[in-house]
Amino acid sequence: MTLETYTQTRLETATIGYPRIGKSRELKKALEAFWRGKSDAETLIQTRNEVEFKNWETQRQAGIDRIGIGDMSLYDHVLDWSIRLGIIPERFASFSGLDRYFAMARGKDGIAALEMTKWFDTNYHYLVPEIPETLQPADFSDFLQTVHRAQTLLGDRAVPIVLGPVTLLRLSRLEMNQDQAGKQLGDRYLLLLQELQKMGVAEVQIHEPALVFGDAANFKQLYQSTYQSLSQVGLPIHLVTYFDDLGDNYPWVMELPVAGISLDFTRGRNLELLQQYGFPDDKELGAGIVDARNVWKIRPDSVLSTLEAISRVTPNLRIQPSASLQFVPYDAQRETKLPEPLRSVLSFAEQKLVEITLLADWADRSYGTQEPDKYLEVILRQWQTFQEFSPVNQGVKERLQNLTSQDLERTLPYEQRQERQPVLPPFPTTTIGSFPQTSEVRQLRVKLKRGDITQAEYEAAIDAEIAKCIQFQEEAGLDVLVHGEFERTDMVEFFGQQLSGFAFTEHGWVQSYGSRCVRPPIIYGDVARTGPMTVREFKVAQSLTDKIVKGMLTGPVTMINWSFTRTDIPRSKQAMQIALALRDEVADLEAAGAKMVQIDEPALREGLPLKPERWDEYLSWAVDAFRLSAAIAKPETQIHTHMCYSEFGDIIGHIERLDADVLSIENSRSNNETLFEITDAGYKHQVGNGVYDVHSPAVPSTEQMVQQLKTGVANLPVQQIWVNPDCGLKTRGWEEVIPSLKNMVEAAKILRQEANLTEK
């Protein structure tokens, strides 16, 4: 018997969510085929159900006692619950069925999609519900059908997962009064629980991750009244929290009328709170001690001490992951090309199921066997082997130790740098960086990997794509160009592949949103640059035009937040290691003639701790890492950065401390709120006001973008305004990109004329 097959369970085990894209991304492929008109709705639904069934069967065979079900989604679980609860804005009223579902997700026929933003501090995106003054009728039929299918396979093991009413309300945009919305939603959840009870469901998980937010106390009365009402149904409720601790709210949350409460013991200080306040005797504790947000195996010493400490407070517990396993890939055993010392300490979703059952057995050793101890000893030896495989990089260590405050400072302040930087027309136009990754471009990488073409042939083909991209941008009239990033599979993976200390999987896909999947790199050792990473492609692009071409880099904080990081050293140290590598790249780009370098940090905001009292510590090192990357640039070199899905009002001081010359923002789905936050704070640097939503297939009209720009003009001096899409164009097709960018350039020209400004 091996560790991977050890599933004898004693103490009860549970899951609270599972990956939902399919082990071979079956659902992603089915979605995109449906959108292209290559398959029908029946095929799409069948694929979803097949993926869901395989997920249930995997958990059943692993010996999980309480299997969370109902978290499967065609696009986003928050969107699913919005529609089930009748939270449908008026602009989507004319649609029905899947047409309505995907119109809300992606927009359609000039109708804006729901706003998309990050799910807590993860790299998953959800669609923000808009609660109108009048709700549509609730319809839980699809969810109830899922429960019925699960009961057929799993029986009482099937535990429905329901997104909690207060969390949904907390994350929504409201047109009606909050109390009124809470009452109406509460009534609908009551009906749902009654239906589940009629089906013979033994227990329901209601997920309320908003309880870990710093402002949870503001919703205390609503939590209390809502759960008092729901408890009257008589269906046992297991209240699930994750991503952080309950903080000062711990005592009153323990008093809510529920049968069980799940806590995350891998983040925050829930163990300290548990020891301080105890745990109710009449409730079951869902002990989230297997980390659902990272890919490393448990470290026996630390996890066993945590489990022992929990058991001393309450014996009434179940062992489970810290959150849904949707944030990790399916199976580490498929990664046969990774070095064995590394692969042996990786734990994806299927391995985490094994760890859950193993820890449950270890916690209940009354049956007199030492089997769990044997397998835990195996893990210890695997970690010891890994430590020998990944030694400390002394050169990187010394560079970090020798850093001074001057290494984080540009040589001149912004106002003086601006005078030396390139002169452009008013409302200069550019893009965020990437252009469409067509099937032909993707096939080039496949052919290179298979050995069907040489490296020289591959580079020649990429150069041809760059040439076409430069030609289009010149013809479209863009002012500052990019090379298109055709050589890049992913904005983090591309750089990580050229840095030591990074490892890459073949099958390690996780969902970002909808059909968008990413393979986060694994940072397993000290990070160092092995040579120039982007200079060749930049030089090719710049040689084809007299206009400025931006050098394009991914920032250190985004690389940290979009990777599976080490757990043995602080994230701040890992970010600074990456920053040193990027600093060297900026210097090389400058030497190659780059007058502008963009260091993207779209994930800076999402890394914020969920408790505001921890923000300053995170932002201090995050901003320092960006500054270390950029500070080597000469005053004449204009440093750009891009951020998306970010609210800046509460961290604007830190945004200013980045000291980027140009900040481009996602703004098209947020009703200009991000722009207003920047202008209200008196931000003095230049701003690229994202004028259209690249996550929608709809082509924006010139008139739409003119109106968006006029909002910018009303709030910012003309000399501060840049014109750009709200994000990269990688996921769009050329048939959408070409007219969209031409309309964008035309919109900028109209603004120049209306403002009576001439090009310099």
Q: Residue 7: its pLDDT value, please?
A: 43
Contact assessment for residue 218 and residue 182, using Cβ atoms and an 8 Å cutoff = no
Q: Residue 166: its pLDDT value, please?
A: 97
Q: Is 644 annotated as a binding residue?
A: yes
Confidence grade of residue 468 (pLDDT, cut at 50, 70, 90): very high
CA distance 567 to 523: 10
Asked whether the predicted pLDDT for residue 650 surpasses 90, the reply is no
CA distance 126 to 129: 9
SS3 of residue 656 by DSSP: helix
CA distance 105 to 62: 34
Q: Residue 759: its pLDDT value, please?
A: 46
Q: Is 469 annotated as a binding residue?
A: no
| Domains of the chain listed by start with CATH number | 415-436+530-754 (3.20.20.210)
Quick one: how many helices (H) and strands (E) in the chain? 27, 23
Q: Is 600 annotated as a binding residue?
A: yes
Q: What are phi and psi of 206, to 5 degrees?
A: -115, 115
pLDDT in tens, 402-421: 999 999 999 999 999 999 99
Q: Is 485 annotated as a binding residue?
A: yes
Q: What is the mean pLDDT of the chain?
A: 93
Asked whether the predicted pLDDT for residue 760 surpasses 50, the reply is no
Confidence grade of residue 5 (pLDDT, cut at 50, 70, 90): very low
Q: Residue 97: its pLDDT value, please?
A: 96
Q: Is 27 annotated as a binding residue?
A: yes
Confidence grade of residue 665 (pLDDT, cut at 50, 70, 90): confident
SS3 of residue 261 by DSSP: strand
Residues 6 or more apart whose CB falls under 8 angstroms from that of 128 comprise 78, 114, 115, 116, 117, 171, 172, 173
Higher per-residue confidence, 754 vs 593: 593
Q: Is 123 annotated as a binding residue?
A: yes
Q: Residue 376: its pLDDT value, please?
A: 92
pLDDT in tens, 321-344: 999 999 999 999 999 999 999 999
Whole-Å CA distances, 329 to 204, 241, 495, 509, 518: 26, 22, 21, 5, 10
Q: What is the mean pLDDT of residues 670-675?
A: 69
Q: Is 26 annotated as a binding residue?
A: yes
Residue among 680, 681, 569, 588 at smallest CA distance from 633: 588
Catalytic sites, residue numbers: 695
pLDDT in tens, 346-404: 999 999 999 999 999 998 764 445 678 888 999 999 999 999 998 889 999 999 999 99
Q: Is 52 annotated as a binding residue?
A: no
Q: Residue 755: its pLDDT value, please?
A: 74
**DSSP bridge pairs for 285:** 261, 317
Q: Is 433 annotated as a binding residue?
A: yes
Q: Residue 488: its pLDDT value, please?
A: 92
Asked whether the predicted pLDDT for residue 583 surpasses 70, the reply is yes
Q: What is the mean pLDDT of residues 158-179?
A: 95
Confidence grade of residue 638 (pLDDT, cut at 50, 70, 90): very high
Residue among 726, 709, 604, 717 at smallest CA distance from 665: 726
Residue among 551, 628, 631 at smallest CA distance from 595: 551
CA distance 219 to 64: 34
Q: Is 474 annotated as a binding residue?
A: no
Contact assessment for residue 524 and residue 567, using Cβ atoms and an 8 Å cutoff = no
Q: Is 666 annotated as a binding residue?
A: yes
Q: What is the mean pLDDT of residues 25-54?
A: 97
Q: Is 653 annotated as a binding residue?
A: no
Distance of CA 177 to the CA centre of its chain: 30
pLDDT in tens, 595-636: 999 999 988 988 899 999 999 999 999 999 999 999 999 999
Confidence grade of residue 669 (pLDDT, cut at 50, 70, 90): low
Q: What pTM does this model have?
A: 0.90
Higher per-residue confidence, 315 vs 647: 315
Q: Residue 103: its pLDDT value, please?
A: 97
Higher per-residue confidence, 31 vs 666: 31
Q: What is the mean pLDDT of residues 142-170?
A: 97
